[in-house]
């Protein structure tokens, strides 16, 4: 429109409009420094003449380009078998001097000595082939960062990613085994083993499970930046075995208690070995398979693979660790003044007389030494010197939760039970 209108104007008018437009451009569209300079010389501007503009360039583009180049020069190196920092740096074209400087970057830099095959380290290398930064993620949440300070010295620090913890639930019904039911409920192997450990003092999972038994589990799940990194601890669980309900609540001390505050952990394990089956029960009279005569069988024989670890059934002190032609390699443990447990036919003994042991500690491995027809653990349980059936004897309870913690635990237990019951109702409604 402007061009068409100007065609009909006299030439002097055209020059006037062009001059005014140019002047406004200088005043309002140029940067302030150039506008000021041209205001001072506006009286000498000539129409139709070209003027050069001395515009200073900014460093923004150069800085952005440098950052991009630095990112583009980040290289990732996977740790191979036999690798160390020097070998990886040589592969990256870095000098031994840089290897030394990085290794001296502070206490945290020693984590580079524990790199494992399959781990990765990332290196920022500039255009001169020199190291700028190093990053080593040694866990899902922690990364070792080695960077240069203002003196161009390498320093180390740990960068930690926040973990988001969420609550999830699972339920299962027994058809043939806890393991299969747990896998069907999408529990991890560790969660299934933890579940067995929580209720293992009350339920014999090898012999007492029945079809139709069920469980409910509330557990933590961990996320970083919205990405699942793994399952956390079980927070509460319930197991219904042959119509009897067992409930466990995890407290801040890491132990599990009944809703009333009694410890789920008993003073003794019901079975101190992961066995295949019971080859011989506690009996007043049994025909001995080796001696070929009738005699009392004062313990329980747990058939298991040779070399299977055997655990101490409870805390105590080893009063015998020896070998003889009848018991083979055997270990006896005294538990206070009242209880003694005996473990026979080991392949190897792992403890010595006088040694203090903790419940669950490995004391030997299953074998068939002495008078034994095959690999198994012969386990005896004595109360005041009298042999009792290890599978049916009443096990003493462990200490309840500390009195100082009872009020706080009651609040936690109430909350956990409400969450567990709500999840059960939702799951049942969905099914």
Pick the CATH number of 68-160 from 3.10.350.10, 3.40.50.720, 3.10.450.350, 3.40.50.2000: 3.10.450.350
When mean pLDDT is compared across 61-65, 133-137, 299-303, the lowest value belongs to 61-65
Q: Which of 214, 203, 255 is nearest to 234 (CA)?
A: 255
Give residue 403's pLDDT band: very low, low, confident or very high (50, 70, 90).
confident
Pick the CATH number of 277-388 from 3.30.530.20, 3.40.640.10, 3.10.20.30, 2.70.70.10: 2.70.70.10
pLDDT at residue 416, as a whole number: 93
User: Is pLDDT of 25 > 90?
Assistant: no
Q: Which of 163, 159, 185, 160 is nearest to 172 (CA)?
A: 185
pLDDT at residue 292, as a whole number: 52
Report yes or no: 322 and 361 within 8 Å, Cβ to Cβ.
Answer: no
Give percent of the chain with pLDDT exceeding 70. Answer: 78
User: Is pLDDT of 276 > 50?
Assistant: yes
Give residue 285's pLDDT band: very low, low, confident or very high (50, 70, 90).
low
User: Is pLDDT of 321 > 90?
Assistant: yes
Residue 226 region, left (φ>0) first, then alpha (ψ -120 to 50), else beta?
left
Q: Please, what is the average pLDDT of the chain?
A: 81
Dist. CA 73–CA 177, nearest whole Å:
54
C-alpha radius of gyration, the chain, whole number:
39
pLDDT at residue 289, as a whole number: 54
Dist. CA 22–CA 50, nearest whole Å:
11
pLDDT at residue 115, as a whole number: 92
| CA separation, residue 109 to residues 132, 161, 357, 384 (Å) | 15, 19, 37, 57
User: Is pLDDT of 213 > 90?
Assistant: yes
**277-388 matches 68-160 in CATH topology:** no
Residue for token pair 């920092």: 85
Enumerate the domain spans of the chain.
2-44, 68-160, 164-257, 277-388
pLDDT at residue 73, as a whole number: 74
| CA separation, residue 287 to residues 170, 299, 326, 428 (Å) | 47, 14, 16, 51
Average pLDDT over residues 242-246: 92
Tell me: the pLDDT tens digits for 343-365? 999 999 999 999 999 888 999 99
Q: 39-45: long-range contacts at Cβ-Cβ below 8 A with a sequence spacing of 24 or more?
A: 45/19
Handedness of CA 143, 146, 149, 155 (dihedral sign): positive
Tell me: the pLDDT tens digits for 148-191? 888 888 999 999 988 888 999 999 999 988 888 999 999 988 89
Report yes or no: 424 and 214 within 8 Å, Cβ to Cβ.
Answer: no
Average pLDDT over residues 264-280: 76
Print burial letters for 188-227: b (CB count within 10 Å at least 16), e (below 16).
Answer: eeebbebbeebbbbbbebbeebeeebebbbbbbebeeeee
Q: Provide CATH code, domain 164-257.
A: 3.10.450.350
User: Is pLDDT of 38 > 50?
Assistant: no
**What is the DSSP secondary-structure string of 146-171?**
EEE-TTS-EEEEEEE---EEEEEEEE
Q: Which residue has better confidence, 179 or 7? A: 179
pLDDT at residue 112, as a whole number: 92
**Which residues, 6 or more positions from 14, have their beta carbon under 8 angstroms from its beta carbon?**
6
Dist. CA 293–CA 286, nearest whole Å:
8
């Amino acid at each position: 429109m402007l061009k068409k209108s100007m065609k009909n104007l006299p030439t002097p008018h055209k020059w006037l409009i062009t001059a005014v437009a140019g002047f406004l451009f200088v005043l309002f569209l140029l940067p302030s420094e150039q506008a000021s300079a041209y205001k001072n010389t506006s009286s000498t501007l000539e129409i139709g003449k070209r003027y050069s503009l001395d515009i200073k360039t900014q460093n923004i583009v150069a800085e952005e380009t440098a950052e991009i180049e630095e990112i583009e020069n980040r290289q990732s190196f996977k740790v191979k078998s036999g690798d160390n920092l020097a070998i990886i740096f040589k592969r990256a074209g870095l000098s031994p001097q840089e290897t030394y400087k990085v290794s001296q970057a502070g206490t945290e830099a020693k984590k580079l000595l524990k790199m494992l095959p399959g781990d990765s380290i990332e290196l920022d290398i500039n255009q001169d082939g020199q190291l700028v930064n190093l990053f080593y993620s040694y866990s899902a949440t922690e990364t070792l960062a080695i960077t240069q300070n203002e003196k161009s010295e390498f320093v180390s620090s740990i960068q930690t990613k926040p973990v988001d913890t969420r609550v999830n639930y699972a339920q299962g019904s027994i058809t043939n085994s806890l393991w299969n039911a747990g896998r069907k409920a999408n529990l991890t192997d560790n969660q299934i083993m933890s579940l067995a450990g929580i209720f293992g003092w009350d339920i014999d999972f090898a012999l007492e499970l029945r079809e139709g038994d069920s469980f409910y589990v509330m557990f933590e799940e961990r996320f970083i930046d919205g990405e699942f990194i793994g399952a956390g601890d079980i927070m509460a669980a319930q197991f219904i075995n042959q119509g009897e309900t067992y409930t466990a609540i995890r407290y801040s001390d890491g132990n599990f208690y009944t809703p009333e505050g009694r410890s789920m952990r008993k003073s003794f394990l019901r079975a101190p070995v992961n066995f295949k089956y019971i080859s011989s029960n506690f009996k007043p009279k049994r025909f001995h398979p080796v001696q070929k005569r009738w005699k009392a069988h004062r313990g329980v024989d747990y058939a298991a693979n040779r070399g299977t670890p055997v655990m101490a059934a409870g805390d105590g002190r080893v009063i015998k660790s020896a070998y003889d032609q009848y018991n083979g390699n055997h270990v006896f443990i005294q538990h206070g003044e009242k209880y003694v447990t005996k473990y026979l036919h080991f392949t190897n003994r792992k403890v010595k007389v006088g040694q203090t042991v903790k419940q669950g500690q490995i004391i030997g491995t299953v074998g068939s030494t002495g008078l034994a027809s095959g690999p198994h653990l012969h386990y005896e349980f004595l109360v005041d010197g009298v042999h009792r059936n290890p599978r049916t004897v009443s096990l003493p309870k462990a200490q309840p939760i500390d009195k100082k913690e009872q009020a706080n635990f009651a609040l936690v237990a109430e909350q956990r039970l409400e969450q567990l019951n709500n999840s059960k109702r939702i799951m049942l409604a969905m099914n």
